[in-house]
Structure 1
Amino acid sequence: MSEMDLLYRKAMLQDSLEIARLSGQLGYPAKAEQIEARLAPMLNAADHVQGKRIGQQLVRHCEEWARTKGYQELRVRVNVTREEAHQFYKHAGFENTKTQQVFRKGL
């Protein structure tokens, strides 16, 4: 399988609906308005593009960008239920440094 050419660009406000959809698909439900309020970089690829090495390209691009900015490391947060993502990041050279659970009690 050949690598796809990708265009990297900064997210724009008009992307917020699609980013919210992707976020929900990845297990982090959000409304477009929330995304608009806190537009953040996304490293995960959607289901329809998984297996096409896009995630690997994104990680390499982020590594290159971070190095040019003087960063010493990359950190990624992944939902505990996303085993495939855990394997992806381990394969990409990341190490798991923390496991976290969030507890909630309705009133």
Structure 2
Amino acid sequence: MRKARRDDAVTIARLLGQLGYPASDELIDSRLQQQIDHDDACLLVAEGDDGQLLGFISLHFIAQLALEGDFCRISYLCVDSTARSRGIGELLVQAAELRARGRGCDRMELHCDVRRDAAHRFYARLGYEDAPKYFRRSLN
């Protein structure tokens, strides 16, 4: 596991496309730099033995007002379709949880769209519980 670098942008864009988020390499390059520069964000990547990027996890650390510990939100987790079911996703989540603990977080959160059944099973295997209420509103 390592932190993402600017030269990972093309591969991350391809992986996001596998998740159903097609975006230009230029947009991802710009957004990747924002994540790298942001003190409360972290983007980790998993590499194969050959140095090929196999997956990534995007994290945001959020201060809580009423509780002592902060929380960490997983905003994206993707493992290349050719490398799934090899434990890479679990290793990425473990690395994320380790970073979150180091930042003083007392819980992890994520949103996983209702249509992603396999991802729901994955998170349940890792001990994540379903918290079914999630509200959103588009600002566009």
- Same fold, TM-score > 0.5, yes or no: yes
Task: Please state if 1:82 is matched with 2:116.
Answer: yes
Q: Which amino acid aligns with 1:12?
A: R
Name the TM-score, length of structure 1 as normaliser. Answer: 0.76
Residue 97 of structure 1 aligns to a residue whose secondary structure is coil
Residue 63 of structure 1 aligns to a residue whose secondary structure is helix
Which 10-residue stretch deviates more, 31-40 or 19-28?
Answer: 31-40
Q: Which amino acid aligns with 1:18?
A: T
Deviations 1:40-67 (Å, cap 9, x if unpaired)? 5323211111111111111111111110
What pairs up with 1:24-35 in 2 under 5 angstroms?
Answer: 24-35=17-28
Residue 78 of structure 2 aligns to a residue whose secondary structure is coil
Between the aligned partners of 1:71 and 1:56, the Cα distance in structure 2 is 19
Out of 7, 13, 24, the position equivalent to 1:14 is 7
Out of 31, 49, 55, the position equivalent to 1:38 is 31
Which 10-residue stretch deviates more, 95-104 or 44-53?
Answer: 95-104
Which 10-residue stretch deviates more, 95-104 or 48-57?
Answer: 95-104
Higher relative helix content: 1
Residue 107 of structure 2 aligns to a residue whose secondary structure is coil
Which 10-residue stretch deviates more, 92-101 or 43-52?
Answer: 92-101
Name the TM-score, length of structure 2 as normaliser. Answer: 0.60
Aligned to 1:48: 82
Between the aligned partners of 2:133 and 2:22, the Cα distance in structure 1 is 20
Task: Please state if 1:73 is matched with 2:66.
Answer: no
Between the aligned partners of 1:102 and 1:76, the Cα distance in structure 2 is 14
Structure 1 runs (4+) deviating above 3 angstroms are 98-104
Higher relative strand content: 2
Q: Is the 8 A contact 1:27 1:79 kept in 2?
A: no
Q: What's the % identity of the aligned pairs?
A: 37
Between the aligned partners of 2:21 and 2:135, the Cα distance in structure 1 is 14
Count of paired positions: 97
CA distance 1:30–1:98, change in 2 (3 Å) = farther
CA distance 1:11–1:56, change in 2 (3 Å) = same
